[in-house]
């Protein structure tokens, strides 16, 4: 059985207590400074935290950080240099959303980004069997040259994941279970440890329980911690 640990605290303090090179995957969604929520008023993702994340990560660890780019959301620009200082950059994933947000005068925002970094570019985990989507290929390959799978490879633009905007009615910026599941399956195996230092309402922890992964989730907001614990019990 997976072990899910949810801690109501400042992640800067909790990270100091986590042993060196003990985490298999880091997956998190820090505040973007784009909403009117109280928890989204100041920059909390900083070099002190990134340095600790590097320390606790195994050499095989990947780190995924949700971010945004636009007039209101420029966390991608702010955070990329911090992460690049310690980790090796691999890719930028774009989640194409069905529901847009934005200003009356300007383009409608229909995307969010995820930065993917690794600690060691030669040792990071990539489970090849999980790199295929549910979409079938139209052709199996040319004569004498066949694809490894009948399904298409997942690209760095995710158009197959529907929005779940406040789907459980508990958090303003919750992310889809399917997106979190995809990342965890690609980079971990059962009983590995996933760390989310900005847990929010607990989606990472919920997916870890479903996939039999261990999870350490840290959240400063007590109300969201209680929501996360309830979701774990209800497993949704």
In the predicted structure, residue 171 carries a pLDDT above the cut 60: no
**Longest CA–CA separation in the chain, Å:** 60
Please tell me the predicted confidence (pLDDT) of residue 236: 61
- Over residues 50-105, the pLDDT tens digits come to 999 999 999 999 999 999 888 777 899 999 999 999 999 999 999 998 776 666 67
Q: How many Cβ atoms from other residues are within 10 Å of residue 161's Cβ?
A: 18
Closest CA to 95 of 36, 178, 28: 178
Entry pTM? 0.90
- Domains (range + CATH), the chain: 4-140+151-234 (3.40.50.150)
**pLDDT of residue 189 exceeding 70:** yes
Quick one: CA dihedral 132, 163, 124, 118, positive or negative?
positive
- Within 8 A by CB and 6+ apart from 146, the residues are 140
- Which segment of 58-72, 81-95, 124-138, 141-155 scores lowest on mean pLDDT? 141-155
Dihedral sign computed on CA atoms, order 128, 183, 213, 84: positive
Percent of the chain with pLDDT over 90: 67
């Amino acid at each position: 059985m997976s072990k899910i640990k949810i801690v109501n605290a400042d992640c800067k303090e909790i990270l100091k207590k986590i042993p060196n090179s003990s985490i298999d995957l880091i997956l998190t969604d820090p505040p973007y400074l784009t909403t009117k929520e109280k928890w989204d008023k100041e920059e909390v993702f900083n070099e002190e935290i990134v340095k600790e994340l590097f320390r606790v990560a195994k050499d095989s660890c990947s780190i995924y950080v949700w971010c945004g780019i636009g007039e209101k959301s420029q966390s991608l620009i702010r955070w990329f240099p911090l992460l690049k200082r310690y980790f090796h950059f691999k890719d930028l994933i774009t989640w194409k959303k069905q529901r847009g947000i934005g200003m009356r005068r300007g383009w409608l925002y229909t995307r969010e980004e995820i930065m993917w970094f690794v600690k060691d570019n030669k040792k990071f985990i990539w489970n090849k069997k999980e790199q295929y989507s549910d979409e079938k290929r139209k052709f199996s390959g040319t004569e004498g040259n066949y694809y490894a799978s009948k399904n298409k490879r997942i690209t760095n633009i995710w158009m197959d994941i529907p929005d779940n905007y406040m789907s459980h009615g508990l958090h303003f910026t919750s992310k889809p279970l399917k997106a979190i599941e995809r990342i965890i399956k690609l980079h971990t195996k059962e009983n590995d440890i996933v760390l989310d230092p900005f847990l929010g309402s607990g989606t990472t922890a919920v997916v870890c329980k479903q996939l039999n992964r261990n999870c350490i989730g840290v959240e400063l907001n007590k109300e969201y911690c209680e929501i996360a614990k309830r979701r774990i019990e209800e497993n949704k």
